[in-house]
Amino acid sequence: MESVYSFNALQFNGEKKSLQDYSGKVLLIVNTASRCFFTPQYKALERLYQRYKDLGFEILAFPSNDFRGQEPMTGLQLETYCRIQQQVTFPVFKRLHVVGDYADPLYQYLADKTKNGKVNSRPLWNFHKYLINKQGEVVDFFYSTTGPEAKRVLTKIEQLIAE
């Protein structure tokens, strides 16, 4: 069975980043957008990251324009928005597709139980979250309406960090 470590992500500078680099960490993978009702979750994600990053936790953000064109920015403009306006310090990657015929292979894996062995849940909107254990396996997901600091998210992250 594959794991998230089988995939690469494109950084803003165009270089590939192997998700293997996050081996042994608990990951929260989230598709983001700058013009969405849920965009304020960037701040909550950053607080979550600051709270757990020193305990082996990482957030990986993947901007996407798949839902009503709510992420029109790309490249340097998008990177600047995330780093300066939203003040996020966790990794944010180049914009990609999370649903449909052109969905990135990582998101095809995350969304399909036949590929990941656990979860059947494709993003229905921006800020859909996948929780990954230290072995790179998908263990849970949270819809956009579940905030990053919701009790059940925190509980699950803390359980995985403790494993």
Q: Are 102 and 35 in contact (CB under 8 A)?
A: no
Residue 3, token pair as written in the block: 């794991």
Distance separating alpha carbons of residues 68 and 65, to the nearest angstrom: 7
Mean pLDDT across the stretch 139-144? Answer: 97
Whether 123 contacts 115, CB under 8 Å: no
pLDDT band, residue 144 (cuts 50/70/90): very high
Catalytic residues, which ones? Answer: 36
Going from the C-alpha of 151 to that of each of 8, 68, 83, 125, the distances in angstroms are 30, 29, 27, 21
Q: How many CA atoms lie within 13 A of 93 on its CB side?
A: 22
What is the extent of the structural domain holding 121? 4-162
* CA dihedral angle for residue 19, residue 104, residue 117, residue 149, rounded to 10 degrees: 70
Q: What is the tens place of the pLDDT at every residue in 1-33?
A: 689 999 999 998 889 999 999 999 999 999 999
Please report the pLDDT score of residue 1 as a whole number: 66
pLDDT at 117 over 80: yes
Contact criterion met (CB below 8 Å) for 63 and 33: yes
Q: In 19-121, where does DSSP find H-type helix?
A: 41-52, 75-80, 105-111, 113-116
What is the number of domains present in the chain?
1
pLDDT score for 2: 87
Using an 8 Å Cβ cutoff, are 136 and 3 in contact? Answer: yes
Can you give the CATH number for the domain in which 149 is found? 3.40.30.10
Over residues 35-90, the pLDDT tens digits come to 999 999 999 999 999 999 999 999 999 999 999 999 999 998 999 999 999 999 99
Torsion of CA 121, 50, 37, 99, to 10 degrees: -30
